[in-house]
Amino acid sequence: MGPLLKLYPIIVNNIAISTTNDSKGQIENNNGYIYPPQFISKMNFLRNLLAAILGSLIALGIVFFMLMIFVSLLSVEESITVKNNSILELKTPYPIKDYSGVDNSAPFAGLFSQEQGLDDILHAIEVAKEDDKIEGISINSNYLMAGIAQTQAIRAALEDFKESGKFIYAYGDFYTQKDYYLGSVADSVYLNPVGIMDFKGLSAEVLYFKDLQEKTGVKMEVVRHGKYKSAVEPFLSNEMSEENRTQIKELISSIWNTVVEEISESRDLSAASINQIADTLGARNPEFAKKSGLIDEILYFDQYEKQLKAVTGTEEEDELNYISLTDYAEAKKGKKLRKGKDKVAVIFAQGDIFYGEGDQNVIGQGIMVRAIRKARDDENVKAIVLRIDSRGGNALAADIIWRELMLAKAEKPLVVSIGNVAASGGYYLAVAGDKIFTEPSSITGSIGVFGTIPNIKGLADKIGINAEQVGTNKNSVDYSLFEPMRDEFRGYLKESIESTYQVFLSRVAEGRKMTLEEVDQLAQGRVWSGAEAVEKGLVDELGGLEDALKEAVAMAELEEYGIKKYPRYKSDFEKFMEDMGGVSTEVKENVIENDLGFEVYDIIDELRTALKQKGIQARMPFTIKIH
């Protein structure tokens, strides 16, 4: 190497090197390694390129964030105006939950998913009843994504709205049974000339997986108590048991009778006539539907709007002043129908019960215990209403929440309102109440317990896996996924199941003032409709959330009161920001559901939920979907 002329210390990617200028233009580092000038040039280029990429990503993130804020601010600043002579358009394009628990006016609310709260819908209808700017309601709700009890609650609110003397019209391009059940409350019901009506009675379908388990080698080990506890039946058999068939038949018949009774009253048709229409598919096309008396006229939508213009006194050349239910609920959410320093807390428990924190889709003891304690410790809260929509789940989590409810009940009146379902673990929570209200079409009971543990011994044998266990004590290796369940372990699990079942019976007996024997006769995992549950003494009265509120107010002896709702859930945006490392679980769930469709997604979700169950379960014995 030539003579050193000058040294220039520099840093390249944290490597200290010294440069020398010689006749060859070579560069040497501290360790004597010689770097050609081209290497340094490339290193500098890569460093600059990486810095540019990183800077661009940061800039894009900032621009995206600012854009979202700008869009959000625009939406907030854009006020919703309710014009004179307006028609409240009752459309329900999103899934309906009892309670959304998120401030929809917050930035980025509904950015990833949208849903409607039943409480917001009922509030909007109640406000519209006294709003001079609202002339009437137009129901245009195809494929209503709500439970039958939620539909019944909306229908009852519309019945109350009609007492104002304002009109309600219903129009459908097609009617599912649930859509028609809701629409039948209208003064007049209209159907598209090429539309269809699905009116044939209720049915239930249960999927069985015994053969699938044998073919795949993946099975569920099952221990249960209750001859009706058929939540695990699909893993044990390929056919429906007579006990399960009996209870499902009686359940859906009870719900159908309630639906028929209300349609009969609204349409001035006898129950026998409505059942004959269902038996003969006597409303399968528009002409038959009109002849049967289920609808009033067959019209295209533009003709329907002429009817609306006539009833509202709108000139034919003018546009109708529609305001969507979503916009109206947003505009009127600040209008308090009940005011006062004294409060009634309404706590919503919705979803399956899992041990853990919980959110708007899952009841966990974490979020529920905090909500109950806040209501109990708030001096302004004088009474508590617990609204339940749950088919049950983890028995331990249910008991933890039950205990917290009992502590609150010792200090303040506690009234329970059952929504679509309060079965098994959901009913476990309900019996803490001083009084229980249920819709006639609600599903409740299912007092029973079971345990399921996955086992892949068959699959392991097929693919050549052999698992060997080593333990320090006799029961240190109690169960392995790769080995059949030992009789001793099954005995311990059965003992725990029986113990939990007896605790469940005692909770119900204490809450409903029955003997253990009386409860056991109604238990065994048997499911009842709300109407049947009243007859059996499992609940006190038929009624909705409003009836439960009135009872709580009476028990607390309040004259004026406001309402506080619990719990407060994280918004979609908050969950997204907490999971910046990837797409949040809920976002992925929404994408999958949209791609597969509701029916296919529901089947997959049912199987996945069964496989995710941990611990002893107090869960409804089957899933029923009413269309």
Q: How far apart are alpha carbons 479 and 223 in whole angstroms? A: 14
Percent of the chain with pLDDT over 70: 78
Average pLDDT over residues 284-306: 97
- How far lies 244's CA from each of 212, 254, 288, in Å? 21, 15, 36
Q: Residue 527: which of 613, 438, 452 has the closest Cα?
A: 438
Per DSSP, the three-state class of 239 is coil
User: Which amino acid appears at position 263 of this protein?
Assistant: I
Q: Residue 419: which of 445, 440, 439 has the closest Cα?
A: 439
Domains 82-200+281-332 and 343-619 share a fold: yes
Phi, psi of 415 (to 5 degrees): -115, 140
Q: Residue 397: which of 579, 112, 613, 143 has the closest Cα?
A: 613
Taking the CB of residue 470, how many other CB atoms lie within 10 A of it?
6
Q: What is the pLDDT of residue 72?
A: 54
* Range from 4-18, 41-55, 111-125 carrying the lowest mean pLDDT: 4-18
Average pLDDT over residues 180-186: 97
Per DSSP, the three-state class of 384 is strand
Average pLDDT over residues 431-458: 92
Q: Where are the domains of the chain?
A: 8-76, 82-200+281-332, 343-619
- How far lies 325's CA from each of 120, 124, 419, 618, in Å? 9, 7, 21, 37
Active centre residues (catalytic): 229, 424
Q: What is the pLDDT of residue 311?
A: 96
Q: What is the pLDDT of residue 231?
A: 65
Model pTM? Answer: 0.80
For the record, the structure tokens of 350 come out as: 């919705």
Q: What's the order of all strands across the beta sheet hosting 34-35?
A: 8-12, 15-19, 27-29, 34-35
586 has a pLDDT exceeding 60: no
At a CB cut-off of 8 Å and minimum separation 6, what does 359 contact?
351, 367, 569, 570
Angle at 530 between CA 126 and CA 94, to 5 degrees: 50
Write out the DSSP string of 386-410.
EEEEE-EEEHHHHHHHHHHHHHHHT
Per DSSP, the three-state class of 307 is helix
Q: CB of 390 within 8 A of CB of 349?
A: yes
Q: CB of 122 within 8 A of CB of 337?
A: no
Q: Residue 193: which of 292, 291, 286 has the closest Cα?
A: 286
Query: What kind of fold does domain 343-619 have according to CATH?
Result: 2-enoyl-CoA Hydratase; Chain A, domain 1 (3.90.226)
598 has a pLDDT exceeding 60: no
Average pLDDT over residues 221-245: 79
Q: How far apart are alpha carbons 276 and 381 in whole angstroms? A: 51
Q: Return the CATH number of 82-200+281-332, one of 3.90.226.10, 3.40.190.10, 3.40.350.10, 3.40.50.300.
A: 3.90.226.10
User: Which amino acid appears at position 76 of this protein?
Assistant: V
- Mean pLDDT of the residues in the chain: 83
618 has a pLDDT exceeding 70: no
Phi, psi of 57 (to 5 degrees): -65, -45
For the record, the structure tokens of 48 come out as: 């600059």
Length of the chain: 627
For the record, the structure tokens of 115 come out as: 């849903």
* Cis peptide bond N-terminal to 95, omega within 30: no
Strands (E), 198-285: 219-225
* Range from 71-85, 326-340, 387-401 carrying the lowest mean pLDDT: 71-85
Q: What is the pLDDT of residue 230?
A: 65
432 has a pLDDT exceeding 60: yes
Q: If DSSP states are collapsed to H, E and C, what string results for 75-118?
A: HHHCCCCCCCCEEEEECCCCCEECCCCCCCCCCCCCCCCCCEEH
